[in-house]
Amino acid sequence: MKIDIISAVPSLLKSPFEDSILKRAQTKEIVEVNIHNLRDYSTNNQKSIDDYAFGGGAGMVLSIEPIDKCIASLKENTNYDEVIFMTPDGEKLNQKISNQLSLHSNIIVLCGHYKGIDERVRQHLITKEISIGDYVLSGGELAAAVLCDSIIRLIPGVLNDETSALSDSFQDNLLAPPVFTRPANFKNWEVPKILTSGNTKEIEDWRHEKSLEKTTKLRPDLLK
């Protein structure tokens, strides 16, 4: 899978892709992540990428020209399944959307910034709009990193069997069961006996039961 991220503040996107699972996915060449600096596509001598809003107010607005130029240059070499815009008024991200996006070959993720983006970008260049929650971030970069992490971990080969994404919370609409590690007794706080019994079938049943209990208590909406 190839992910091209377009950003006005690309340095904000560096570290999430340089460590741990996301780094390994790239080293293994399962995913290619390219970060594009919108400023490199500015169409004027001042290298600006934003302008005042027509009609006044609203602060600076990201201009359509550099975005169009950047997307057009990416499309010269690649067919994209989706051109996604990160925005608080987009469709709320959930596991189902991440699962669907993880099946794609190529996606573009555009990060918004400042007060907004020329609406014509959304009307003509974007195929999907995603929010990571009902709150406003200073820009779409952190949201894009969240989206990419949730997608990349689902691509076969990124996680090994033990950490398989199939056992993540929200797969099957259930929260993941609690987990414990050594020591089995710490300050008399004991690990449930069943987990040290070695009985695989009973452990599996216990985990399912705890998943159900936890979901019923914390997120009953998922069970509907």
**C-alpha separations of 219 from 33, 87, 170, 171, 208 in Å:** 34, 25, 10, 14, 15
Q: How far is the CB of 93 from ligand ADE (least distance, A)?
A: 8
Rounded-to-integer distance, Cα 96 and Cα 168, Å:
12
How many residues contact ligand ADE, by CB under 6 A?
12
Site for ligand ADE in 115-174 (CB under 6 A): 131-133, 135-137, 140, 143
Q: How far is the CB of 214 from ligand ADE (least distance, A)?
A: 26
Query: Which tokens hold the place of 14?
Result: 């560096």
Sign of the CA dihedral with 156 first, then 157, 158, and 164 last: positive
Q: Which of 119, 36, 100 is nearest to 71 (CA)?
A: 36
What mask, x for binding ligand ADE by CB under 6 A, covers residues 75 to 114? -----------xxx-----------------------x--
Identify which of residues 133 and 192 has a Cβ nearer to ligand ADE in the complex: 133
Q: How far is the CB of 109 from ligand ADE (least distance, A)?
A: 10
- If binding is defined by CB under 6 A, does position 33 make contact with ligand ADE? no
